[in-house]
Amino acid sequence: MGNNKERKSNPWVNWALFGGTMGIVFLLGLLVASITERRAEAIFAYQPKVALNEFEPRNEVWGKNYPWEYESYRKTRETDFSTPHGGNAMKDMLGESPEMVILWAGYPFSKDYNQGRGHSYAIEDVWNTLRTGGPKTPDVGMPSTCWTCKGPDVPRLMNQMGVTEFYNTTWAALGPEVVNPIGCADCHDPKTMDLTITRPALIEAMELRGDDITQATHQQMRSLVCAQCHVEYYFDQDRPGAEGANYLTFPWVNGFQPEDMLKYYDDIAFSDWTHALSRTPMIKAQHPDYEVYMTGIHAERGVACADCHMPYISEGGLKYSNHHVTSPLKYISQACQTCHRESESTLMKNVIDRQNKVLELRAKAENLLTRAHIEAKAAWDAGATESEMKEILYDIRAGQWFWDYVAASHGGSFHSPLESARVMGKAIDYAQEARIKLGRLLALKGKVMAIPYPDISTKEKAQEYIGLPMKELEQEKQYFLKEIVPVWKKQAAEREASYDLKP
């Protein structure tokens, strides 16, 4: 205050203000023009270039109409991003954890088990794995049901053959038919591009629970499309009306908890195989990714699979969903920082910390269960009877189910760390119960010293211990890849050349 000097207006200041304002107006005009142009570009780009057939299985044909989604989908070919417990590079799980060879003795998983790669590898990887063997003729080998989660030829075939008929043949018989890897027609309706459920097993499982999937909200659909495949399942051979077919079924009638599913399997006396050492009637948990995710905080807060695994990308005036489905740690800024303000390194640490803690329990459970199988074999060898072994085998069955439920749930230790740790705790408890009972039984049979633990420090040693003929299995696979797969590919190419494409 105080100084009442009159302010004289300076003409230069006025002109500068005027000029500045005009400049800003001009730049804003440029921006508007650019946005309109990009919009026009976007609208132009979404003009369909081809009319999609009702069951068009070829991703590259859909790609002509939706180039951005298709280009991002193609990145599922990348194999260069590895995180401590995930990523898109191939990891030899049995090599990292040879005890799993013992846990799956007598079951194909003991031959070969790699960490999942991107969706576009689904067909190649199922050709390549030793688990599918080398069928030389279409009448032998794995059931056709193994194709169900591999790609968009499946809805096409189910429509053509009938669902039960699709499940009622061999993997090799449908080899020439299923050649396009997981893609557009698995999740989208070609007419409206809406998300859609193409796999009957999910619809049927929800129906049995009294849920009508057609009433699902848009946000629920952003997870349910994944739940077509990323779930626990088994092959039902006694389904009324489809007896004998390997009918894909989700064991959800009693609920989504691992206890509910174990009860389901117990009630129907189901087992996937009998363990080669302990003779336990075993259940193989598949990949209950959706079920475990649902018990986590993100699901509870309404965050969908697609929010983290398919986040939006903005490029100029374009906004589209990233179809490069992979570890979200590759895209932290789009996948996490839309909701979280922490730095990339903090979020990365939060994920890895949770995974490491669950892994600590998992390693414990794995070791105890391996010992239980080996000690059970020693008990049989020492003359134990069926009735003496009954409770012990149930403890092993339940313990390994709980272990596998977490081990096979990809990402589960982040999706729901507390539930993963709880279930792993149950695995440890059952395995310990089995071993206490085994200790008593073995003593009764005169075996008071500890049962020696074999050298299974590498995958190769473990496979030798359970007597797998790895050389033969590999030769059989090489023959299959060289002689059979090229024939399948040729037949598929001939069929697809006959599809007409209307512009």
Give me the least distance between CB of 336 and ligand HEC, in Å please.
Answer: 3
Q: Applying CB under 6 A, which of residues 179, 229, 276, 384 lies at the interface with ligand HEC?
A: 229
| 127 vs 1: CA distance, rounded Å | 86
Per-residue binder mask for ligand HEC (CB under 6 A), 412-431, x = binder: --xx-x--------------
3-state helix, strand, coil in the chain (%, to 5): 55, 5, 40
Q: Torsion angle of alpha carbons 368, 369, 374, 376, nearest 10°?
A: 110
Contacts of 475 (CB under 8 A, 6+ apart): none
Is 305 a binding residue for ligand HEC by CB under 6 A? The answer is yes
Is 158 a binding residue for ligand HEC by CB under 6 A? The answer is no
Give me the least distance between CB of 285 and ligand HEC, in Å please.
Answer: 14
Q: Which is nearer to ligand HEC, 254 or 337 (CB)?
A: 337
Q: Which is nearer to ligand HEC, 87 or 251 (CB)?
A: 87
Angle at 467 between CA 466 and CA 468, to 5 degrees: 100
Q: Which is nearer to ligand HEC, 325 or 358 (CB)?
A: 325
Q: Which is nearer to ligand HEC, 344 or 455 (CB)?
A: 344
Is 487 a binding residue for ligand HEC by CB under 6 A? The answer is no
Is 171 a binding residue for ligand HEC by CB under 6 A? The answer is no
Is 88 a binding residue for ligand HEC by CB under 6 A? The answer is yes
Total residues belonging to the chain: 503
Is 69 a binding residue for ligand HEC by CB under 6 A? The answer is yes
Is 184 a binding residue for ligand HEC by CB under 6 A? The answer is yes
Is 293 a binding residue for ligand HEC by CB under 6 A? The answer is yes
Q: Which is nearer to ligand HEC, 184 or 276 (CB)?
A: 184
Query: What residues from 14 to 33 belong to the interface with ligand HEC (CB under 6 A)?
Result: none
CB 275 within 8 A of CB 284: no
Q: List residues bridging with 188 in a β-sheet.
A: 195
Q: Applying CB under 6 A, which of residues 58, 156, 284, 323 lies at the interface with ligand HEC?
A: 323
Is 351 a binding residue for ligand HEC by CB under 6 A? The answer is yes
Q: For residue 484, what are the CA distances in angstroms to 66, 130, 169, 490?
A: 34, 15, 18, 10
Is 113 a binding residue for ligand HEC by CB under 6 A? The answer is no
Q: Which sign does the torsion angle of CA 369, 370, 376, 380 carry?
A: positive
Q: Which is nearer to ligand HEC, 265 or 320 (CB)?
A: 320
Q: For residue 361, what are the CA distances in angstroms to 93, 173, 297, 356, 422?
A: 17, 42, 21, 9, 10
Is 145 a binding residue for ligand HEC by CB under 6 A? The answer is no
Is 98 a binding residue for ligand HEC by CB under 6 A? The answer is no
Give me the least distance between CB of 67 and ligand HEC, in Å please.
Answer: 8
Is 122 a binding residue for ligand HEC by CB under 6 A? The answer is yes
Is 290 a binding residue for ligand HEC by CB under 6 A? The answer is yes
Is 308 a binding residue for ligand HEC by CB under 6 A? The answer is yes
**Helix/strand/coil (H, E, C) string of 92-112?**
EHHHHCCHHHHHCCCCHHHCC
Is 435 a binding residue for ligand HEC by CB under 6 A? The answer is no
Q: List residues bridging with 176 in a β-sheet.
A: none
Is 303 a binding residue for ligand HEC by CB under 6 A? The answer is yes
CB 368 within 8 A of CB 431: yes
Q: Which is nearer to ligand HEC, 104 or 290 (CB)?
A: 290
Give me the least distance between CB of 225 and ligand HEC, in Å please.
Answer: 5
Nearest to 232 by CA among 258, 205, 250, 246: 250
Give me the least distance between CB of 372 and ligand HEC, in Å please.
Answer: 28
Candidate ranges 136-144, 201-209, 262-270, 315-323; the one touching ligand HEC (CB under 6 A): 315-323
Contacts of 421 (CB under 8 A, 6+ apart): 357, 358, 361
Angle at 108 between CA 274 and CA 453, to 5 degrees: 65
Give me the least distance between CB of 358 and ligand HEC, in Å please.
Answer: 11
CB 95 within 8 A of CB 111: no
Contacts of 4 (CB under 8 A, 6+ apart): none
